């Protein structure tokens, strides 16, 4: 139980760290909360004089005794009690019982107004804090996702990450941060109530403290089971979002294979599981409030019987009016206690979501800049791979890779699928770092330099054109915010894209849809090439950039690639071997090793793997 409480508090406090700087919230919130509680308590302490006036318990002699001496200031409850009695006695003497009744009623109205005013002001502070926490948490997890290495996204479901960025953050806001008022204010209220109760009767208050922990233990048991189900619910929701994302992305394949019933059944199973978990969570959560109320009323009933007997038998120091006030005050302890039990039940889902968000934030990127990393100088001579090796989780993917690319030359990587071509190309822009050997640019080990300065010198065009739901102009000028219209148009012309762009609905301001869905494959690829041209990098990586195109589109794209590669150092991953015949050197990779190397003519003269691959494509 102690370990569980420690874990809960650790998560809760970590979430609240996103509220920094606390100076914006804590001082004012504390002030408003304390003032609200004080005036709230004052409402109930006025019950005693109200009852005394109604029942005629205060005689003129007692009123005169109240006003005999003005109390001297001291910071304790007795002073405030004597201070009130002093003025209350004066009102009784001057205005009579009716005036005293009006005086008490006006005080009650003023006290309630001030209590609710400060409560409202405290809520405003919490509202600002909630927005601050959620903004900072969402910003932090989004930043961490952008910092993580590519391999992380191969192991994680996209739907799960989307859930953490959206649903989990929302759950933290509604279940954790929104209960901050309850978690902070209600314990202070309970403590303040018990201070008053102890000053009225130590014996009765100790009696209640023997009974209250029983209900607390029952509520704690429910909360523990609730947290376990909440975790299952969030995992199920993540899977649902993954299915939705895959359905939207693969709708063409689903329809082509008549797989609608299959995918619907898959969704139905997970959706039903999530609904079952949510019902279980709701049942347990909703049980907490009525159960705590029942337990509280049971304690009040026991108190009425026990304390009532003491008053009837004159064994208590309390008068009947004071005993009624004591019961009313104690019943008010149940209000914050009930609110806390409901909040602790609701908070479990938020804590599970908070833990899921913090898991991503706590994930350390494997590819990071060294503390003393420098900016890579301008590329002038060559790129060298020296004894490079790489593996995923202990499984080797590349071994003993050695080659050099002189500035301005083109090297091609070919070979069977799974041979390590794309992985080899990904090492150059430091999407991954070698597990053995090193990669040098002009003799500089790229791991000693910042990732940003290495990638700044490299342009990438992949088989799948990665475009964004934005205008054609903004896709070409991606991350180049100072690009002029003339520069974008010039890049588009070199990429053979200008002609089709000007015939679109709004020209360069045409929005191309999700992932460029309004364009053909060839058009999307030419926009990717235009983007690389505008960046104007000295080094290019072309990853099977024409393999998914038809013949006409391939011709236009290949011409655009030729324009892009002119006077640049290029690494080309080729599926169609006819596109790399003019490469300065061709490396043939098989099972992570370079098994052949040379020009197209040299490799054709040998009856090796390259010659066989070429022959297979010619006869296909």
472-478 long-range contacts (CB < 8 A, ≥24 apart) are: 472/501, 472/504, 472/507, 472/508, 472/509, 472/510, 472/512, 472/527, 473/508, 473/509, 475/512, 475/516, 475/527, 475/531, 476/508, 476/527, 476/530, 476/531, 476/534, 477/531, 477/534, 478/531
Domain containing residue 514: CATH number:
3.40.50.300
Residues 578 and 442 reside in one and the same domain: yes
Mean pLDDT of the chain: 78
HEC-encoded secondary structure of 250-296: CHHHHHHCCCHHHHHHHHHHHHHHHHHHHHHHHHHHHHHHHHHHHHH
Mean pLDDT over 314-330 rounds to: 74
Highest-pLDDT range among 187-201, 212-226, 239-253, 423-437 = 423-437
Residues 341 and 407 reside in one and the same domain: no
Residues 340 and 403 reside in one and the same domain: no
Residues 423 and 521 reside in one and the same domain: yes
Residues 447 and 355 reside in one and the same domain: no
In a domain, 183, yes or no: no
Residue 497 CB contacts under 8 Å (≥ 6 apart), including other chains = 523, 526, 527, 529, 530, 560
- Closest by CA to 574, choosing from 613, 531, 529, is 613
Tens of pLDDT, residue by residue over 563-590, are 777 788 889 887 777 677 788 898 989 8
In a domain, 196, yes or no: no
User: Phi first, then psi: what are they for 401, rounded to 5°?
Assistant: -90, 120
The pLDDT, as a whole number, for residue 224 is: 61
In a domain, 180, yes or no: no
The pLDDT, as a whole number, for residue 386 is: 92
Q: Which of 105-114, 170-179, 272-281, 463-472 has the lowest mean pLDDT?
A: 170-179
Give the largest CA-CA distance in the chain. 125
| Cβ-contact 213, 229 below 8 angstroms | no
Residues 250 and 142 reside in one and the same domain: no
- Structural domain that includes position 249: 201-363
What share of the chain has pLDDT > 90, as a percent?
A: 5
Tens of pLDDT, residue by residue over 452-497, are 899 888 888 877 777 888 888 988 888 887 888 898 888 888 888 8
In a domain, 492, yes or no: yes
Running DSSP on this structure, what letter comes out for residue 73? P
Running DSSP on this structure, what letter comes out for residue 416? S
DSSP codes, 513-570: -GGGTTS-HHHHHHHHHHHHHHH--SEEEEESTTTTS-HHHHHHHHHHHHHHHTTSEE
* Distance between CA atoms of residues 81 and 71, nearest Å: 10
Task: Say whether pLDDT at 20 is over 70.
Answer: yes
In a domain, 158, yes or no: no
pLDDT tier for residue 76 given thresholds of 50, 70 and 90: low
Orientation of helix 77-147 relative to helix 26-45, angle to 10°: 140
| Cβ-contact 192, 37 below 8 angstroms | yes
Mean pLDDT over 522-539 rounds to: 85
Residues 359 and 400 reside in one and the same domain: no
Residues 601 and 503 reside in one and the same domain: yes
Residues 223 and 133 reside in one and the same domain: no
* Distance between CA atoms of residues 70 and 424, nearest Å: 89
- Closest by CA to 130, choosing from 87, 59, 183, 89, is 183
Residues 470 and 422 reside in one and the same domain: yes
Task: Say whether pLDDT at 1 is over 50.
Answer: no
Domain containing residue 310: CATH number:
1.20.1560.10
Residues 335 and 406 reside in one and the same domain: no
In a domain, 47, yes or no: yes
In a domain, 347, yes or no: yes
In the chain, the number of structural domains is 3
The pLDDT, as a whole number, for residue 157 is: 75
The pLDDT, as a whole number, for residue 431 is: 87
Tens of pLDDT, residue by residue over 557-568, are 777 777 777 788
The pLDDT, as a whole number, for residue 241 is: 76
What does pTM read for this prediction? 0.71
Token pair 């309004």 is found at 518
Domain end residue (candidates: 309, 333, 363): 363
Alpha helices in 148-201 (DSSP H): 150-155, 158-163, 169-175, 180-200
Between 446 and 526, the more confident residue is: 446
Mean pLDDT over 512-530 rounds to: 82
Task: Say whether pLDDT at 60 is over 70.
Answer: no
pLDDT tier for residue 213 given thresholds of 50, 70 and 90: low
Tens of pLDDT, residue by residue over 274-317, are 888 878 777 766 776 676 667 767 777 777 777 777 777 777 77
Domain end residue (candidates: 363, 393, 417): 363
User: Is the preceding omega at residue 580 within 30 degrees of 0, hence cis?
Assistant: no
Between 480 and 79, the more confident residue is: 480
Residues 358 and 395 reside in one and the same domain: no
In a domain, 163, yes or no: no
Which residues make beta-bridge pairs with 542?
461, 572
What share of the chain has pLDDT > 70, as a percent?
A: 77
Dihedral class, residue 544 (left if φ above 0, else alpha if ψ from -120 to 50, else beta): left
């Amino acid at each position: 139980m102690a370990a569980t409480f420690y874990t809960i508090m650790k998560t809760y406090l970590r979430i609240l760290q996103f509220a920094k700087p606390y100076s914006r919230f804590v001082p004012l919130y504390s002030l408003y909360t304390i003032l609200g509680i004080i005036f709230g308590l004052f409402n109930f302490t006025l019950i005693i004089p109200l009852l005394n006036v109604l029942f005629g318990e205060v005689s003129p002699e007692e009123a005169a005794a109240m006003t005999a001496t003005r109390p001297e200031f001291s910071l304790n409850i007795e002073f405030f009690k004597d201070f009130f009695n002093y003025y209350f006695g004066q009102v009784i003497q001057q205005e009579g019982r009716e005036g005293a009744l009006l005086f008490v009623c006006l005080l009650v109205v003023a006290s309630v107004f001030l209590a609710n005013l400060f409560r409202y002001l405290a809520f405003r502070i919490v509202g600002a804090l909630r927005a601050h926490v959620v903004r900072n948490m969402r910003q932090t997890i989004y930043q961490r996702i952008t910092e993580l290495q590519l391999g992380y996204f191969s192991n994680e479901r996209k739907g799960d990450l989307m859930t953490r960025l959206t649903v989990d953050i929302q759950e933290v806001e509604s279940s954790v941060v929104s209960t901050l008022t309850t978690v902070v204010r209600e314990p202070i209220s309970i403590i303040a109530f018990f201070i008053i109760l102890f000053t009225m009767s130590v014996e009765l208050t100790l009696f209640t403290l023997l009974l209250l922990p029983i209900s607390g233990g029952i509520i704690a048991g429910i909360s523990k089971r609730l947290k376990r189900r909440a975790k299952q619910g969030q995992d199920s929701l993540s899977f649902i979002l993954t299915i939705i994302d895959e359905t939207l992305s693969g709708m063409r394949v689903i329809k082509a294979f008549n797989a609608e019933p299959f995918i619907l059944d898959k969704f139905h199973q997970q959706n039903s599981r999530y609904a079952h978990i949510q019902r279980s969570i709701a049942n347990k959560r909703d049980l907490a409030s009525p159960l705590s109320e029942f337990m509280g009323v049971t304690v009040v009933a026991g108190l009425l019987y026990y304390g009532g007997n003491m008053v009837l038998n004159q064994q208590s120091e309390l008068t009947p009016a004071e005993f009624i006030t004591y019961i009313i005050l104690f019943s008010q302890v149940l209000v914050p206690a009930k609110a806390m039990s409901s909040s602790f039940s609701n908070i479990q889902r938020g804590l599970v979501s908070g833990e899921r968000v913090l898991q991503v934030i706590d994930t350390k990127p494997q590819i990071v800049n060294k503390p003393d990393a420098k900016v890579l100088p301008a590329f002038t001579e060559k790129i060298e791979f020296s004894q490079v090796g790489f593996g995923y989780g202990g499984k080797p993917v590349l071994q003993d890779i050695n080659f050099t690319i002189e500035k301005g030359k083109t090297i091609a990587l070919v070979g069977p699928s799974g041979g390590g071509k794309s992985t080899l190309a990904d090492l150059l822009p430091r999407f991954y770092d070698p597990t053995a050997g090193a990669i040098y640019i002009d003799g500089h080990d790229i791991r000693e330099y910042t990732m940003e300065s290495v990638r700044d010198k490299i342009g990438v065009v992949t088989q799948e054109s990665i475009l964004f739901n934005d205008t054609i102009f903004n896709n070409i000028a991606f991350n180049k915010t100072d690009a002029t219209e003339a520069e974008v148009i010039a890049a588009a012309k070199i990429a053979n894209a200008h002609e089709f762009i000007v015939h679109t609905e709004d020209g360069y301001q045409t929005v191309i849809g999700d992932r460029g869905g309004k364009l053909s494959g060839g058009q999307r690829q030419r926009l990717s090439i235009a983007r690389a041209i505008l960046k104007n990098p000295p080094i290019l990586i072309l990853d099977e950039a024409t393999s998914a195109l038809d013949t006409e589109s391939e011709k236009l794209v290949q011409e655009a690639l030729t324009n892009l590669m002119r006077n640049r150092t290029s690494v080309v991953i080729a599926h169609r071997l006819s596109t790399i015949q003019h490469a300065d050197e061709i490396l043939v990779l098989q099972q992570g090793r370079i098994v052949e190397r040379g020009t197209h003519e040299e490799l054709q003269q040998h009856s090796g793997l390259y010659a066989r691959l070429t022959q297979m494509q010619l006869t296909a």
